[in-house]
């Protein structure tokens, strides 16, 4: 129905524009009106979340197109609009405005002075980076890759932060979108070296250092990552964000400081460096809970999560549970505020709102121009025609609606059946894989037993008796372990059948072994006991837990045990 409304609105606009003459102003008059509108926006303190602001936006957009000699102002208009759309989570609208920015620049390059060209080199480099990011967020990865390459080439001759930022952004593209850690690390390191040489205290250096550390964590280089997180923790402790204007003061970036502290704690716990963990927690609490510093709730959430992580690592589950409640309470509060804010903005500038605001803007023009007597009749003809078209299209829509619904339902049923069959096949394949692993372990045990038997043949007397008893005990242990383990898992599977079904529905890629690991964690069995039940080392269990986190799509700050308990 939404698509039908949009098509009718567009059809109506096309008819309107073809008949009603558009108000055309001189460049000077358009600029004067533009300044008046900007003054009204500032006077009324309108923000992006205000629906009224977007009525001004469309009128300003029309006025800017009529400027003839204000090339710098036009470019800045497209740049700011694109940036705002990107900030508000509307990548497709951001892409349109960035493309308009580059098109206008290329068309009017000859009208810019050398100083303006030099000034807009920075804006162009930033726009390339933001355009590539918008393409990636809109799932146009090939376009994003192409624009990143353009930016790399564009900043090739530069030895400044534009070049460093372009390298870092391309690294992020490989890290976030391509999952190519080695390629990402190459660009991160290049950006890091250049930024360090140019401005060793710039915040870009902290961002790049954090990106490198994140890659190290993915690669299992925990010690190297820990060292970089420590540098960032010390860096953000004293580094300050520049004041936005003359009326504000520079301040510490509390969120990045807190994030660096949490990452430092996370890696230090893995390295079992609990002494430095306690020191970091004390420093975070001192800065984030100082009433004079005005740290925000998001920053303090990192501290609470870090505290919970430390208590879990120190095997203090009761205290950790109390802190986890604090984490959830604060996290829910932040999410609620953020969702409410996003909902307000999205409602104000959704597709329907855009169409309605465009219509209002066009109708306001029509009301002014309808004073001309010879155009009034044409407007009535267009209105009647539009209503007739709407009625005709509505009749067609409702007559076809049921047929389309039935066809769609049949297609969904077929897709669900295919998904079910594919899920069953994958489940059988995973069971076969588990069987193969178990068979391999038994073969390795048999080989070890054969080696002991060969050695037994070469011994005599008491030593042979002693070795023979040990040999017999190994066999008895294996039989007992296999029988007990099999019986345990049979009971575990029976008791957790509903839990397994829920896991299968939400995470169909989990193997049978991984489901059992989830069940053991859910029963709050200690890690060393789980390792013994699965006949693996504690290190192998940690690897299994890491892979399980990946399949469950958990963020780094989400605790695996808490997540499974919440299912």
522-552 pLDDT, tens per residue?
888 888 888 877 778 888 888 988 898 888 8
Phi, psi of 340 (to 5 degrees): -65, -40
Q: Which residue has the higher pLDDT, 234 or 58?
A: 234
For the chain, the maximum distance between any two Cα atoms, rounded to a whole number of angstroms, is 124
Residue 497 binned pLDDT confidence (cut-offs 50, 70, 90): confident
Tell me the per-residue pLDDT of 347-376, one tens digit each, with 9 for 90 and over. Answer: 655 654 555 455 556 656 666 666 676 677
Checking if the pLDDT of 270 tops 90, the result is yes
Report the alpha-carbon distance of residue 490 to residue 101 in Å, rounded. 65
Residues 147 and 128: their CA atoms lie apart, in Å, by 6
Residue 21 confidence (pLDDT) above 90:
no
pLDDT of amino acid 141: 94
pLDDT single digits (tens) 504-527: 888 888 888 888 888 888 888 888
Nearest to 144 by CA among 186, 105, 183, 172: 172
Q: Which residue has the tokens 């990107």?
A: 86
Contact between residue 567 and residue 499 where contact means Cβ atoms under 8 Å apart:
yes
pLDDT tier at 166, thresholds 50, 70, 90: very high
Percent share of the chain, pLDDT over 70: 81
Predicted confidence (pLDDT) at residue 243 exceeds the cutoff of 70 = no
Q: How many residues does the chain have?
A: 567
316 vs 324: CA distance, rounded Å: 12
pLDDT > 90? residue 192: yes
* Torsion angles phi and psi, residue 241, rounded to 5: -85, 135
Average pLDDT, the chain: 81
Q: Which of 185, 256, 254 is nearest to 225 (CA)?
A: 185
pLDDT of residue 429 exceeding 80, the answer is no
Q: What is the pLDDT of residue 92?
A: 92
Q: Residue 502 has what pLDDT? A: 85
Q: Is the pLDDT of residue 5 over 50?
A: no
Is residue 292 classed exposed, middle or buried when 0-12, 13-18 and 19+ CB atoms within 10 A define those classes? exposed
Half-sphere exposure (CA, 13 Å, Cβ side) for 239? 21
- Cross-strand bridge partners of residue 252: 240
Nearest Cα residue to 299 out of 278, 321, 284: 284
CA dihedral 433, 434, 435, 436 (to 10 degrees): 50
Both tokens assigned to 334 = 């932040």
pTM of the prediction?
Answer: 0.57
Mean pLDDT of 299-308: 91
The answer to whether the CB of 488 falls within 8 A of the CB of 533 is yes
| pLDDT reported for residue 210 | 94
More confident residue, 99 or 495: 99
């Amino acid at each position: 129905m939404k698509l039908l409304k949009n098509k009718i609105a567009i059809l109506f606009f096309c008819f309107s524009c073809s008949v009603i003459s558009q108000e055309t102003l001189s460049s000077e008059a358009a600029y004067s009106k533009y300044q008046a509108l900007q003054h009204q926006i500032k006077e009324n303190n309108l923000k992006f979340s205000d629906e009224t602001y977007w009525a001004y936006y469309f009128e300003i957009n029309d006025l800017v197109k009529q400027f003839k000699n204000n090339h710098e102002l036009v470019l800045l208009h497209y740049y700011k609009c694109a940036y705002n759309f990107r900030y508000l989570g509307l990548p497709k609208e951001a892409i349109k405005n960035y493309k308009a920015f580059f098109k206008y620049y290329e068309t009017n390059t000859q009208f810019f002075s050398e100083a303006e060209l030099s000034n807009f080199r920075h804006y162009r480099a930033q726009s390339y980076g933001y355009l590539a990011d918008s393409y990636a967020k809109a799932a146009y990865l090939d376009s994003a890759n192409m624009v990143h390459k353009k930016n790399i080439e564009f900043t090739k001759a530069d030895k400044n932060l534009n070049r460093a930022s372009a390298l870092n952004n391309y690294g992020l593209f490989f890290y976030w979108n391509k999952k190519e850690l080695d390629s990402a690390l190459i660009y991160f390191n290049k950006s890091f070296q250049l930024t360090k040489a140019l401005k060793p205290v710039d915040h870009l250096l902290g961002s790049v250092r954090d990106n490198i550390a994140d890659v190290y964590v993915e690669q299992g280089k925990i010690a190297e990552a820990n060292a970089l997180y420590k540098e960032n923790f010390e860096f953000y402790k004293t580094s300050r964000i520049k004041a936005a204007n003359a009326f504000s003061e520079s301040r510490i970036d509390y969120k990045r400081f807190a994030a660096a502290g949490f990452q430092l704690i996370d890696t230090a716990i893995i390295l079992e460096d609990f002494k430095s963990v306690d020191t970091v927690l004390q420093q975070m609490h001192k800065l984030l809970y100082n009433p004079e510093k005005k740290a925000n709730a998001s920053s303090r959430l990192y501290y609470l999560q870090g505290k919970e992580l430390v208590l879990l690592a120190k095997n203090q589950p009761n205290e950790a549970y109390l802190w986890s409640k604090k984490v959830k309470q604060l996290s829910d509060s932040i999410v609620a505020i953020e969702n409410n804010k996003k909902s307000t903005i999205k409602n104000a500038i959704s597709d329907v709102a855009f169409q309605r605001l465009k219509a209002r803007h066009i109708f306001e023009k029509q009301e002014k121009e309808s004073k001309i007597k010879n155009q009034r009749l044409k407007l009535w003809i267009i209105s009647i025609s539009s209503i007739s078209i709407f009625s005709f299209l509505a009749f067609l829509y409702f007559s076809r609606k049921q047929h389309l619904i039935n066809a769609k339902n049949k297609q969904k049923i077929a897709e669900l059946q295919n998904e079910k069959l594919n899920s069953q096949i994958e489940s059988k394949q995973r069971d076969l894989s588990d069987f193969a692993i178990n068979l391999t372990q038994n073969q390795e045990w048999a080989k070890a037993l054969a080696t002991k038997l060969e050695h037994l043949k070469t011994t005599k007397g008491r030593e042979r008796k002693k070795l023979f008893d040990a040999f017999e005990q190994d066999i008895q242990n294996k039989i007992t372990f296999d029988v007990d383990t099999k019986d345990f898992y049979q009971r575990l599977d029976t008791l957790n059948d509903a839990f397994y079904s829920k896991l299968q529905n939400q995470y169909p890629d989990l193997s049978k072994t991984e489901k059992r690991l989830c069940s053991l964690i859910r029963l709050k069995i200690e890690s060393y006991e789980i390792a013994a039940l699965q006949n693996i080392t504690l290190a192998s269990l940690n690897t299994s837990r890491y892979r399980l986190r990946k399949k469950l799509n958990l963020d780094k700050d989400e605790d695996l045990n808490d997540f499974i308990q919440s299912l």
